[in-house]
Amino acid sequence: MSGAFGIEPRVDVVVGGVQKGGTTALDQALRSHPGMRMPAVKEPHWFDEDAHFERGAPDYAAYHALWGEGLSAGLCCDCTPSYLWWPAAPARLRDYNPALRWVVLLRDPAARAYSHWNMQRSRGNETLDFGAALDAEASRLATASPRDQRRYSYQSRGYYAGQLARLHALFPREQVLVLRSDQLRDDFPATVGAVLDFLGLEPPASLEALTAHEGNYDEPLAPADRARLVALYDADIRALEAMLGWDLAAWRR
């Protein structure tokens, strides 16, 4: 089936969310499966790069080249967790391949935000403390380049219900697998097995557990900062519970 731009889709699967939710560990597990074909880089960032789409139909040759000869040898997967959050990306992916399957890992949004901030601080991209970074986020995002929007979107990425609603409006629910990242952390083989089953692949005879979203923090998330984020996310978490039938009370504490 050709996508809206007349190209023959070659990528079959995206691990499309969320950043700091265990996607690196899942990417590594999928790379070890003989039925999967992964790109030369973990996060191609193709469909969340607006410049590729400024003149209409993009040229996918450079994108497809990331898989080399693997394009015709198995299920091709793009693991770019910001696709769920970037507003235009899901529709672009639908136009590219309406039959695309999505895997989404969701992490406690307050913990995810703090992990994201710690990552940017460790890379030298963040000088503000966490509370000040939250205060500055709206003004930063209003004027930031796309790259800096990805860097400083600590709070905004955690409103999952709206992001999933946008995704479900574009793709049938049977093409979307949503899991909690704590499941990946606590039972790595079973969770990877669920992903492989969703993709129609046999699980390996054995699977080494990989560490998901571990971080080295100078200090834990301050209770006051967590309480602030929990209050901000409360309505969205409740909407997500209704959408997915999950009990997320732990995220609201």
Average pLDDT over residues 162-171: 98
Sheet holding 176-180, edge to edge: 36-37, 75-79, 13-17, 101-106, 176-180
User: Is pLDDT of 209 > 70?
Assistant: no
Q: Where are the alpha helices (DSSP H) in 130-253?
A: 130-143, 146-152, 160-170, 181-186, 188-198, 223-244
Q: Are 207 and 96 a contacting pair, CB within 8 Å?
A: no
H or E, element range at 122:
helix 109-122
Q: What is the mean pLDDT of residues 81-85?
A: 97
Partnered with residue 37 across adjacent β-strands are 76
Using the predicted structure, report yes or no on whether residue 151 has a pLDDT greater than 80.
yes
Q: Give the span between the Cα atoms of 186 and 188, in whole angstroms.
A: 6
**Dist. CA 133–CA 158, nearest whole Å:** 15
Could you tell me the pLDDT band of residue 212, with boundaries at 50, 70 and 90? Answer: low
- Domains (ranges, CATH) in the chain? 13-252 (3.40.50.300)
The β-bridge partners of 179 are 105
Closest CA to 113 of 163, 161, 156, 165: 156
What is the average per-residue pLDDT within 214-239?
Answer: 92
Q: What span, in angstroms and rounded, lies between the C-alpha atoms of 137 and 155?
A: 8
Q: pLDDT of 23-71, one tens digit each?
A: 999 999 999 999 999 999 999 999 999 999 998 878 899 999 999 988 8
Dist. CA 17–CA 12, nearest whole Å: 16
Q: What are 171-198's pLDDT values in tens digits?
A: 999 999 999 999 999 999 999 999 999 9
Encoded amino acid at 35, one letter? G
What pLDDT sits at residue 93? 96
Q: Write phi, then psi, for 15 (nearest 5 degrees).
A: -95, 95
Containing H/E element for 172? none
Instruction: Tell me the whole-structure pTM to 2 decimals.
Output: 0.92
